[in-house]
Amino acid sequence: MAEEIDIIDQVTQSDYKYGFVTNVESDNAKVGLSEDTVRFISAKKNEPEWMLEWRLKAYKAWLQMTEPTWPNVHYPKIDYQKIIYYAAPKPKKVLNSLDEVDPEILETFKKLGIPMEEQKILAGVAVDVVMDSVSVKTTYKEKLKELGIIFCSMSDAIKDYPELVQKYIGSVVPVRDNYFAALNSAVFSDGSFCYIPKGTRCPMELSTYFRINEANTGQFERTLLIADEGSYVSYLEGCTAPMRDENQLHAAVVELVAMDNAEIKYSTVQNWYPGNKEGKGGIYNFVTKRGICQGINSKISWTQVETGSAITWKYPSVVLKGENSIGEFYSVAVTNNYQQADTGTKMIHIGKNTRSRIVSKGISAGKSQNSYRGLVKVNPNAENAYNFSQCDSLLIGDRCGAHTFPYLEVSNKSAKVEHEATTSKIGEDILFYCNQRGLSTETAVQLIINGYCKEVFQHLPMEFAAEAQKLLAVSLEGSVG
């Protein structure tokens, strides 16, 4: 057994490969949060009055709220007065090509293995890069514009499409929804905005790379995505962050709206700095993601691969309001060393004949704790609602934990709700068996993990799936013996 633990340590303790810092001058807000901070942020961004009012309302709501304690995670109390709420790279003149982007920023992207140029040409991916809260560069905007698709930073959207923003912001995740959502609403720095017009199929995967890059800077993105009647969009979100000693708070809000016959596919690969082997540092990722299937036959599908962050608190959810609407959640959550994750989904069935599917794969290694928390709620009017949930846990070694908290609230007799759960362990005996067939321990683990996550990976866009596999291998490197 001692042997097994040694090997597990070796495998789980590979260093975070994306830990580096870019020296870009920042234009920061003062440390701490007050009404002045909110005003400062809004002013910095030249926002209209209504936006400031909205932020202030959120700030006041936040003051009356308390931080949730129900998640199965533990961390030292956050001092919200010690956080810098706004940091932006020095504004430059409007950029027309990549040559005009700060070479150091480009260097960072290279280290991350994001070949922006190639991505544009080869993959046909429009990348809206968020670097420390401000969009540095938006690509492919023109091409999308021809189709009437809006894909821009939230700041631009507030200026250029105020009526759309005003109508939908906070419509899915209200200001008072939860503590972190309220905080985000007050101080959100930037994010992405996307609108797909009626009957339009977005011809490319829309993609955003987030990156937290300022010591002590909370990152508060706000993403709003609206798919109008009969439209389709696939949206990718992927992130890495540099190595840090101090914990960094990240509280994003993502809102999705799907109208009649619209479909949104939202995929995330999240790889923020998880802290070091002793559990020091790492990102606190407290995210509120929710979509509403507003119209009939609409569909929202969340796919996430979560490998990073010291603490993850995240429940991408779907409100199934439109008749015959469909909500899906496919998740792989990996925790290693001292990482903690409390993640899952909520499927709220309101409309008739609504269907939802949950496939959650938790992988725990090292001394980490991984919890699935899911709610399936069927309202009285949701005739013939159907949910299928599959929650699997995989343990690597014997010092980690996996927990499952499924909640079912069914108020309609015609509803059908199915739940399946399994727990497996990659133990010494399995690894020895694989070794005896010529497979190294690393290869064996990869093989098992990839097999285990297949059902989720197949819902990711192709190039993302390959990236996700790579990421999992890196995250669990050395983790099994």
Partner 1 sequence: MLSIKDLHASINGKEILKGFGLEVKPGEVHAIMGPNGTGKSTLANILAGKQDYDVTEGTVTFQGKDLLDMAPEERAREGVFLAFQYPVEIPGVSIANFMKASLNEVRKHRDLQPLDAVEFLKVMKEKMRFVEIDEKLMRRAVNEGFSGGEKKRNEIFQMAMLEPTLSILDETDSGLDIDALRIVANGVNKLKNENNAFIVITHYQRLLDYIVPDFVHVMYNGRIVKSGGKELALELEAKGYDWIKQEVDATV
Closest CB to partner 1 among residues 189, 331: 331
Closest CB to partner 1 among residues 442, 463: 442
Kindly tell me which residue out of 432, 458, 466, 470 binds partner 1, with binding defined by CB under 8 A. Answer: 432
- Taking the complex as a whole, how short is the minimal distance between the CB of residue 473 and partner 1, in angstroms? 14
Residue 474: Cβ within 10 Å count: 15
Kindly state the tokens that stand for 435: 């070794």
Residue 142: Cβ within 10 Å count: 9
Q: Is 2 exposed, middle or buried (0-12, 13-18, 19+ CB in 10 A)?
A: exposed
Closest CB to partner 1 among residues 34, 422: 422
Kindly state the tokens that stand for 373: 């928390």
Kindly state the tokens that stand for 269: 């690969």
Kindly tell me which residue out of 123, 164, 430, 474 binds partner 1, with binding defined by CB under 8 A. Answer: 430
**Is the Cβ–Cβ distance between 408 and 419 less than 8 Å?**
yes
Residue 420: Cβ within 10 Å count: 10
Is 433 an interacting residue with respect to partner 1 (CB under 8 A)? yes
Is 456 an interacting residue with respect to partner 1 (CB under 8 A)? no
Binding segment for partner 1 among 19-27, 45-53, 222-230, 438-446 (CB under 8 A)? 438-446
Closest CB to partner 1 among residues 455, 463: 455
- Taking the complex as a whole, how short is the minimal distance between the CB of residue 305 and partner 1, in angstroms? 16
- Taking the complex as a whole, how short is the minimal distance between the CB of residue 444 and partner 1, in angstroms? 8
- Taking the complex as a whole, how short is the minimal distance between the CB of residue 436 and partner 1, in angstroms? 5
- Taking the complex as a whole, how short is the minimal distance between the CB of residue 345 and partner 1, in angstroms? 21
Is 421 an interacting residue with respect to partner 1 (CB under 8 A)? no
Closest CB to partner 1 among residues 414, 443: 443
Is 458 an interacting residue with respect to partner 1 (CB under 8 A)? no
Is 14 an interacting residue with respect to partner 1 (CB under 8 A)? no
**Residues 59-98 contacting partner 1, CB under 8 A:** none
Binding segment for partner 1 among 319-327, 335-343, 441-449, 471-479 (CB under 8 A)? 441-449
Kindly tell me which residue out of 420, 440, 458, 462 binds partner 1, with binding defined by CB under 8 A. Answer: 440
Is 473 an interacting residue with respect to partner 1 (CB under 8 A)? no
Kindly tell me which residue out of 199, 424, 462, 470 binds partner 1, with binding defined by CB under 8 A. Answer: 424
Is 443 an interacting residue with respect to partner 1 (CB under 8 A)? yes
- CA–CA gap between residue 474 and residue 227 (Å, rounded): 35
**Residue count at the site for partner 1 (CB under 8 A)?**
25
In three state form, how does the secondary structure of the chain look?
CHHHHHHHHHHHCCCCCCCCCCCCCECCCCECCCHHHHHHHHHHCCCCHHHHHHHHHHHHHHHCCCCCCCCCCCCCCCCHHHCECCCCECCCCCCCCHHHCCHHHHHHHHHCCCCHHHHHHHHCCEEEEEECCEEEEECCHHHHHHCCCEEEEHHHHHHHCHHHHHHHCCCCCCCCCCHHHHHHHHHCCECEEEEECCCCECCCCEEEEEECCCCCECECEEEEEEECCCCEEEEEEEEECCCCCCCEEECCEEEEEECCCCEEEEEEEEECCCCCCCCCCCEEEEEEEEEEECCCCCEEEEEEEECCCCEEEECCEEEECCCCCEEEEEEEEEECCCCEEEEEEEEEECCCCCEEEEEEEEEECCCCEEEEEEEEEECCCCCCCEEEEEEEEEEECCCCEEEEEEEEEECCCCCEEEEEEEEEEECHHHHHHHHHCCCCHHHHHHHHHHHHHHHHHCCCCHHHHHHHHHHHHHHCCCCCC
Cβ contacts of residue 95 below 8 Å, gap of 6+? Answer: 101, 136, 137
Cβ contacts of residue 49 below 8 Å, gap of 6+? Answer: none
Which has the closest alpha carbon to 479: 442, 449, 452?
Answer: 442
Closest CB to partner 1 among residues 87, 332: 332
- Taking the complex as a whole, how short is the minimal distance between the CB of residue 113 and partner 1, in angstroms? 25
Is 428 an interacting residue with respect to partner 1 (CB under 8 A)? yes
- Taking the complex as a whole, how short is the minimal distance between the CB of residue 446 and partner 1, in angstroms? 9
Binding segment for partner 1 among 85-93, 234-242, 426-434, 460-468 (CB under 8 A)? 426-434
Kindly tell me which residue out of 21, 147, 447, 466 binds partner 1, with binding defined by CB under 8 A. Answer: 447
Binding segment for partner 1 among 238-246, 254-262, 351-359, 445-453 (CB under 8 A)? 445-453
Is 434 an interacting residue with respect to partner 1 (CB under 8 A)? yes
Kindly tell me which residue out of 146, 163, 413, 438 binds partner 1, with binding defined by CB under 8 A. Answer: 438
Closest CB to partner 1 among residues 185, 441: 441
Closest CB to partner 1 among residues 86, 452: 452
Closest CB to partner 1 among residues 108, 441: 441
- Taking the complex as a whole, how short is the minimal distance between the CB of residue 248 and partner 1, in angstroms? 34
- Taking the complex as a whole, how short is the minimal distance between the CB of residue 397 and partner 1, in angstroms? 15
For residues 358 to 397, the per-residue mask of contacts with partner 1, x marking binding by CB under 8 A and - elsewhere, is ------------------------------------x---
Give the binding site for partner 1 (CB under 8 A): 3-4, 394, 424, 428-430, 432-441, 443, 447-448, 450-454
